[in-house]
Amino acid sequence: MKKYFILFLITLSITAQKVSAQLDMAFISDFSVISGNPINRLTWTVANNQGAISIYIERCTNGNDFKTVAVLMATEKFGSENYIYADTAASPDRVMYRLRMLSKNQHTFYSRIFITQPNITSDQNINILGNPVKDKISFNFTSKSEQQAGIRIYNVYGIPLVNEKIHCLKGNNLITIPLTTEFAPGIYVIEINNSVQKLTAQFIKQ
């Protein structure tokens, strides 16, 4: 009887250790970047924050090499925690970001890579009206000529949720597109493409 009781205690201890390890398994979610001039605003969430030690913000400008630009120490909050970092790296080219997190059990976790869009001059820009938006997105832009243009809206994973054609007039155009239930709260990229120009902008869906 004593033998079985000892085995039961050992099994219970192993189970408790596994549950504790799962609770301390921190990971990164909802990583996104809002591109601005001259600041790029990075936001993310750490689940099981009590298991994290530090978060390294890494940036790449040449498409190959990531370099650490800042290190944030994890807070002492238990459960989920939100983080924000402002990077002042303005660049005419695309900038890639990722996060590297070190956990208390000495494991390293990486976020997905987020690529910012190139800066666009003011005369070739999409102006989002009322950003963040709710059930529709309204925007205006300037077309160099009267022509057909394609409009696409992508989520942060690069999946197009809207793909349609519009007729543009020469000069300023005001467009409104309803947002379906596919658009969960988050960050999206809208793209206008015609034969002579390609415009992009980011917006936030509440």
Question: CATH no. for residue 155?
Answer: 2.60.40.2550
Residue 86 forms part of a structural domain: yes
Range of the domain at 160: 122-205
CATH number of the domain that residue 108 is part of = 2.60.40.10
Last residue of a domain, one of 92, 115, 138: 115
- Whether residues 165 and 198 share a domain: the answer is yes
Beta bridge partners of 193: 150, 198
Strand-by-strand arrangement of the 81-87 sheet: 27-34, 40-47, 81-87
Task: Provide the pLDDT for residue 21.
Answer: 41
Task: Provide the pLDDT for residue 68.
Answer: 93
3-class SS at 145? Answer: coil
Domains of the chain: total: 2
Q: One-letter amino acid identity for 27? A: F
Residue by residue, pLDDT tens for the chain (206 residues) are 554 444 444 444 444 444 344 444 678 888 888 876 667 888 899 988 888 999 999 988 776 788 999 999 999 899 899 998 888 765 556 788 899 999 888 888 888 888 776 544 444 578 888 888 889 999 988 888 888 889 989 887 678 899 999 888 888 888 999 998 889 888 888 888 877 777 888 888 88
DSSP state of 50: G
- Whether residues 130 and 111 share a domain: the answer is no
pTM for the model stands at 0.49
- Whether residues 184 and 102 share a domain: the answer is no
Backbone angles phi, psi at 78, to 5 degrees: -90, 135
Task: Give the chain's end-to-end CA distance (angstroms, integer).
Answer: 61
Last residue of a domain, one of 115, 141, 171: 115
- Whether residues 51 and 134 share a domain: the answer is no
- Whether residues 95 and 29 share a domain: the answer is yes
Q: Say if CB 176 and CB 141 are below 8 A apart.
A: no
